Structure 1
Amino acid sequence: MTILQALEGYYHRLAERGAVASPGWSSEKFGWVIEIDADGGLIDVIDLHDTRGKKPKTVLYQVPAAVKRTVGIVPNFLWDKTAYVLGRTAGNDKRTAEEHARFVAFHQQRLAGQTDEGLTALLRFLERWRPEHFDGTRFRPEMLDANVMFRLAGERRFIHQRPAARALVEKGEADVGAATAFCLITGEQAPIARLHPSIKGVEGAQTAGAALVSFNLDAFTSLGKEQGANAPTSAVAAFRYGAALNHLLTRDGPNRVRRPIGDATVVFWADARNAEGSHADAAEAAEGWFAGVNDPPTDAEEEAKIGRDMDAIAQGRALADLRPDILPGTRFYVLGLSPNAARLSVRFWLTGEFSEFAENLAAHYRDLHIEPRPFNWGGAPSVFRLLVRTTALLQEAKNIPPQLAGEVMRAVLTGGRYPQSLLAAVMIRLRAGDDPLSGWHVAVIRAVLTRDHRKDRKKEDVPVSLAPDEPNKAYQLGRLFAVLEAAQRMALGKVNATIRDRYFGAASATPATVFPLLLRGVQNHLARLRKDGRGGWVEREITDILDKLPPDLPRSLPLLEQGRFVVGYYHQRKEQFKGRPDVAAAIQDDDEGSDQ
Structure 2
Amino acid sequence: MLRRLMEYAERHGVDVEPGFLPKVVHWAVRPGAGGDRWDVTPLGDASEGGEGGLLFPRCPHLIQPELVRGKTRHFLVDSAAVVAFVGVAPDDPKAQQDSARFAELLHKGGAEAGLPELVEAALALRDPASVGGLQEALTRSGARKGHLVTVGSRRPLPVELADWRDWWRAFRGALVTTAQRPRRMRCFLTAEVTEPALTLLDVKGIGRDAGGGGEDTLIGFDKPAFSSYGLTKSENYAMSEAAAWTCLATLNHLVGSQARPLAGADVVYWFKDRVRPEDDPLAFLHPKGLGPEEERQQRQVEEAEALRHLQELLTAVETGQRPDLASNRYHAVFLSAAEHRAIVRDWVEGDFSRLLIHVSQWLNDLATINLTGRTEARRPGLQLVVECLLSPRKKGQKRRDWLRPVGALRASLWRAAACGAPLPDGVPARLLRLLRAFWQSGQFEEVTEADKHRNYAATMSLLYTRMGVLRVYCLRAERKGGRAMPDELLSCVTEDHPSLAYQCGRLMAVLATIQKEALEQVGASVVQRYYASASVTPSLVLGRLAKLSNYHLELLRQKRGKEGRAARLERTFHDIWCRVGRDLPPPLGLLEQSYFALGYYQQLVDIRAYGKHPASAEPEPKTAEESESDE
- Could you tell me which runs of 5 or more consecutive residues in structure 2 were left unpaired when the two chains were aligned: 288-294, 445-458, 623-631
Which residue of structure 2 aligns with residue 475 of structure 1? 502
Q: Which amino acid aligns with 2:322?
A: P
Flag the 1:497–1:358 CA change in 2: closer, same or farther, 3 A: farther
Residue 87 of structure 1: how far off its partner (Å)? 7.6
Contact 1:45–1:139 (CA<8 Å) still a contact in 2?
no
1:195 corresponds to 2:192 = no
Contact 1:264–1:337 (CA<8 Å) still a contact in 2?
yes
| d(CA) in 2 for partners of 1:113, 1:589 | 76
1:519 corresponds to 2:546 = yes
1:290 corresponds to 2:282 = yes
| Bigger relative contact order (CA 8 A; separation at least 6) | 2
Which among 564, 567, 575 is matched to residue 536 of structure 1?
Answer: 567
Residue 351 of structure 1: how far off its partner (Å)? 0.7
1:186 corresponds to 2:190 = yes
Please report the TM-score for the alignment, with normalisation by the length of structure 2: 0.78
Contact 1:488–1:522 (CA<8 Å) still a contact in 2?
yes
Which residue of structure 2 aligns with residue 69 of structure 1? 64
SS in 2 for 1:509: coil
| d(CA) in 1 for partners of 2:166, 2:324 | 41
Residue 467 of structure 1: how far off its partner (Å)? 3.8
Flag the 1:40–1:109 CA change in 2: closer, same or farther, 3 A: farther
Q: Which amino acid aligns with 2:74?
A: N
The structure with the largest helix share of the pair is 2
SS in 2 for 1:35: strand
Q: Which amino acid aligns with 2:489?
A: P
Q: Which amino acid aligns with 2:596?
A: F
SS in 2 for 1:433: helix
1:516-570 Cα offsets, whole Å, 9 max, x none, are 4422432321111333534334334333333333545345222211111122223
Contact 1:265–1:338 (CA<8 Å) still a contact in 2?
yes
Residue 232 of structure 1: how far off its partner (Å)? 1.4
1:412 corresponds to 2:417 = yes
| d(CA) in 2 for partners of 1:205, 1:213 | 22
Which among 496, 500, 520 is matched to residue 527 of structure 2?
Answer: 500
| d(CA) in 2 for partners of 1:505, 1:319 | 48
1:60 corresponds to 2:86 = no
Flag the 1:519–1:588 CA change in 2: closer, same or farther, 3 A: farther
| d(CA) in 2 for partners of 1:78, 1:466 | 65
Which residue of structure 2 aligns with residue 276 of structure 1? none
Which residue of structure 1 aligns with residue 221 of structure 2? 215
SS in 1 for 2:56: strand
| d(CA) in 1 for partners of 2:317, 2:28 | 49
| d(CA) in 2 for partners of 1:358, 1:94 | 56
Q: Which amino acid aligns with 1:349?
A: W
Contact 1:78–1:160 (CA<8 Å) still a contact in 2?
yes
Task: Describe how 1:240-389 pairs up with structure 2 within 5 A.
Answer: 240-250=246-256, 253=257, 255-257=258-260, 260-272=261-273, 280=274, 283-284=275-276, 288-295=280-287, 298=298, 300=300, 302-310=302-310, 317=315, 319-321=317-319, 324=322, 326-370=324-368, 380-388=379-387
Task: Describe how 1:109-128 pairs up with structure 2 within 5 A.
Answer: 114-118=113-117, 120-121=119-120, 124-125=123-124
1:238 corresponds to 2:244 = yes
1:395-416 Cα offsets, whole Å, 9 max, x none, are 8986552221221111222222
- Could you tell me which runs of 5 or more consecutive residues in structure 1 were left unpaired when the two chains were aligned: 273-279
1:426-476 Cα offsets, whole Å, 9 max, x none, are 212211206598543332222211111111126954521544343432122
Please report the TM-score for the alignment, with normalisation by the length of structure 1: 0.82
Which among 430, 433, 447 is matched to residue 428 of structure 1?
Answer: 433
Which among 109, 132, 135 is matched to residue 135 of structure 1?
Answer: 132
Flag the 1:33–1:549 CA change in 2: closer, same or farther, 3 A: closer
1:449 corresponds to 2:449 = no
Residue 62 of structure 1: how far off its partner (Å)? 4.1
| d(CA) in 1 for partners of 2:606, 2:83 | 70
Which residue of structure 1 aligns with residue 455 of structure 2? none
Flag the 1:305–1:395 CA change in 2: closer, same or farther, 3 A: farther
| d(CA) in 2 for partners of 1:368, 1:374 | 18
| d(CA) in 1 for partners of 2:312, 2:166 | 55
Residue 481 of structure 1: how far off its partner (Å)? 0.9
Q: Which amino acid aligns with 1:28?
A: K
Contact 1:270–1:331 (CA<8 Å) still a contact in 2?
yes
| d(CA) in 2 for partners of 1:547, 1:82 | 74
Flag the 1:501–1:537 CA change in 2: closer, same or farther, 3 A: same
| d(CA) in 1 for partners of 2:81, 2:608 | 70
1:232-273 Cα offsets, whole Å, 9 max, x none, are 1221222222322222222xx4x232xx3222212211012x
Instruction: After superposing the two structures, state which structure 1 stretch, 443-452 or 130-139, moved more.
Output: 130-139
SS in 2 for 1:453: helix
| d(CA) in 1 for partners of 2:419, 2:340 | 30
Residue 15 of structure 1: how far off its partner (Å)? 2.9
Contact 1:476–1:545 (CA<8 Å) still a contact in 2?
yes
Which residue of structure 2 aligns with residue 277 of structure 1? none
Flag the 1:369–1:107 CA change in 2: closer, same or farther, 3 A: closer
1:161-187 Cα offsets, whole Å, 9 max, x none, are 444312213444244485443222233
Which residue of structure 2 aligns with residue 150 of structure 1? 151
Which residue of structure 1 aligns with residue 448 of structure 2? none
Contact 1:303–1:378 (CA<8 Å) still a contact in 2?
no
Q: Which amino acid aligns with 1:357?
A: L
Task: Name the Cα RMSD after superposition.
Answer: 3.8
Contact 1:40–1:122 (CA<8 Å) still a contact in 2?
no
- Paired residues, number: 564
| d(CA) in 1 for partners of 2:30, 2:132 | 17
Which residue of structure 1 aligns with residue 6 of structure 2? 8
Which residue of structure 2 aligns with residue 570 of structure 1? 601
Residue 157 of structure 1: how far off its partner (Å)? 3.0
Which residue of structure 1 aligns with residue 627 of structure 2? none
Flag the 1:410–1:247 CA change in 2: closer, same or farther, 3 A: same
Instruction: After superposing the two structures, state which structure 1 stretch, 330-339 or 77-86, moved more.
Output: 77-86
Residue 512 of structure 1: how far off its partner (Å)? 3.0
Which residue of structure 1 aligns with residue 79 of structure 2? 81
1:269-290 Cα offsets, whole Å, 9 max, x none, are 1012xxxxxxx4xx34586343
Residue 340 of structure 1: how far off its partner (Å)? 0.7
